[in-house]
Amino acid sequence: METPEELRTEQIQNSLIKLGLGNLSNALPSSATDKIRTTPGISHVLSFYDRLAARRAASGLTTPIKFEDFTKEVEKEVLPTLYMSQGLRADINQTLNVKPMFNVMQSFAVGNGRDSNYNFTTIWGTDRHFLRGGLDNELNVNAHGATRISDSIISRFQAHASDKGAQVVLETDVAGPDFFLNLRTMNPSFLDSKFSGILGLNFSQSITKRLTLGLGGTWQRQQAEYPASAGFELGARYATDTYIGSGILTAQGMATLGFTQKLTDKVQAAVSTQLDLTGMSNMAALMAGEPPTPSGTTIAGVKVDFPDQSTIRAQIDSTGKLGFAVDRFVAPTVKMTISSELDHVKSACKIGLGLQIESQSESVAETMMKLQTADRDEARKFMADPPQ
C-alpha cells in the first residue's frame, strides 16, 4: 500500500503531466522535488487544477475559432466587400504538382488605381509546411511561410520588402482542447538596449458549446526613444446551426457587432454595425474644433448560392452606398466575377470584372482523378489545406 506521501507525490506528477511538465520532476534533483512536495499550498493548487481539468473535459467543449475571426461569417462569407474590385483583373493559376503541392500564379490588373498591375506568385506546401513568395512589377517582395510543429501548434512568418522599407511578422497559433491562443510580433528589434516593435496576444475560450469569449491585447513601441503604448479588446460569439451573433469592443471605444442568419440552405443574410462610441475617429471634425460625437455605420447584406455554382452577394449601408458581387463558373476551370459599388452621396460608381483561370498538366489531372476514386478519408487528408 502506498503511503500518503507517495500518493501526494503521484498526484503532483500526474498534474505536472497534464500541464505538459511531466518530465519536470525527473529532471529536477531529489531535493528540489521534495521541496515541491512540501511547499505549503502547492497540493491545493494542483488539486484545484485537477478538478477544473476534469470539469472542462466532461463538458464536451471543442477548440474555438481565432479571436480575430469572430465576425468572419459576416465579413468574409456573406458581405461582398472582399469580393469587389475596380477595373479589370485576371488570375491565372497553374498547378504543377500535387504532392508536394506546387502552384504558380500570375495576376494582371488594369484600371485599379494602383501602381502594382502585375504579380507573380509561387506556392509550395505539404501537410506540415507551406511557403509562398510573390514579386510585382514595382519589385515589391512578399513572402509567407508556415510550419506545423505539432497537431496543436503552428508557427508562421510574413515578410514584405519595398523601396519604402521592410516589415516582418512572426506568430504562433496554439489550439487547445477548448481554447485558441495566438501570439504575434511585428518588426521586433532589440537595438539601443530596448525592445521596439509590436507584440500582440489573442485568446479565445469556449464557455459552452455555443458561447465563446475572447480577449486581445497589443503592446507597441515604434522606436526605442519613444514611449510604449498598449491597448486591449474584448469579444463574444454565440453560434448555433442557423444563426451566429458576435461583438468586439476595443479600449478606444470602437465596437463591431455582427449577426448572420441562415434563411435556407442556399440563402444567408447578415448585418454588421461599426460604432465609434467616443467620436474620436472623426479627425476632420476634431481638427476643426468640433466636439467628439459618437457615430456608426450599419451594413445589411445577403448571399445567394445557385445550383449552377453561381453566387450573388449584395449589400447596402446606412449611408446609401450599394454594392454587389456575382461569381459564376463560365467553364469548369474558369470563374468570372462581376462587382460594382454605387455611392449615391458622392455620385461615384466603381465597376470591376475579374477572371480566375485554373490550369493543370496531364500528370496532375491524372493524380486528381486517382484521388477522386481513392478512399474518401485518405483523399481528404491528402488534399487538406496547408496551414495559412
What 3 state SS string does the chain have? CCCHHHHHHHHHHHHHHHCCCCCHHHHCCHHHHHHHHHCCCHHHHHHHHHHHHHHHHHCCCCCCCCHHHCCHHHHHHHCCHHHCCCEEEEEEEEEEECCCEEEEEEEEEECCCCCCCEEEEEEEECCCEEEEEEEECCCCEEEEEEEECCCCEEEEEEEEEECCEEEEEEEEEEECCCEEEEEEEEEEECHHHCCEEEEEEEEEEECCCCEEEEEEEEEEECCCCCCCEEEEEEEEEEECCCEEEEEEEECCCEEEEEEEEECCCCEEEEEEEEEECCCCCCHHHHHCCCCCCCEEEEEEEEEEECCCCCEEEEEEECCCEEEEEEEEEEECCEEEEEEEEEECCCCEEEEEEEEEEEEECHHHHHHHHHHHHCCHHHHHHHCCCCCC
Residue with cell 496531364: 362
pLDDT at res. 28: 45
Contact 270, 263 (CB under 8 A): no
Residue with cell 434563411: 263
Angstrom distance (rounded) from CA 238 to CA 240: 7
351 CA to centre of own chain: 28
Give which of 213, 211, 231 is closest to 221, Cα–Cα. 231
249 CA to centre of own chain: 18
Contact 80, 325 (CB under 8 A): yes
Is pTM beyond 0.85 here? no
pLDDT along the chain (388 residues), means of 10: 46 45 44 56 70 76 92 93 90 88 92 80 93 93 95 94 92 94 92 84 94 95 83 96 95 94 95 89 68 88 93 94 94 93 89 90 61 50 44
pLDDT at res. 341: 94
Contact 107, 90 (CB under 8 A): yes
Does residue 188 have a cis peptide bond before it, meaning omega lies within 30 degrees of 0? no
Contact 67, 182 (CB under 8 A): yes
CA distances from 39 to 8, 31, 330 (A): 12, 12, 71
What cell does 307 get? 445550383
Contact 234, 248 (CB under 8 A): yes
Other beta carbons within 10 Å of 333? 12
Sequence letter at residue 85: S
pLDDT at res. 288: 67
Contact 30, 206 (CB under 8 A): no
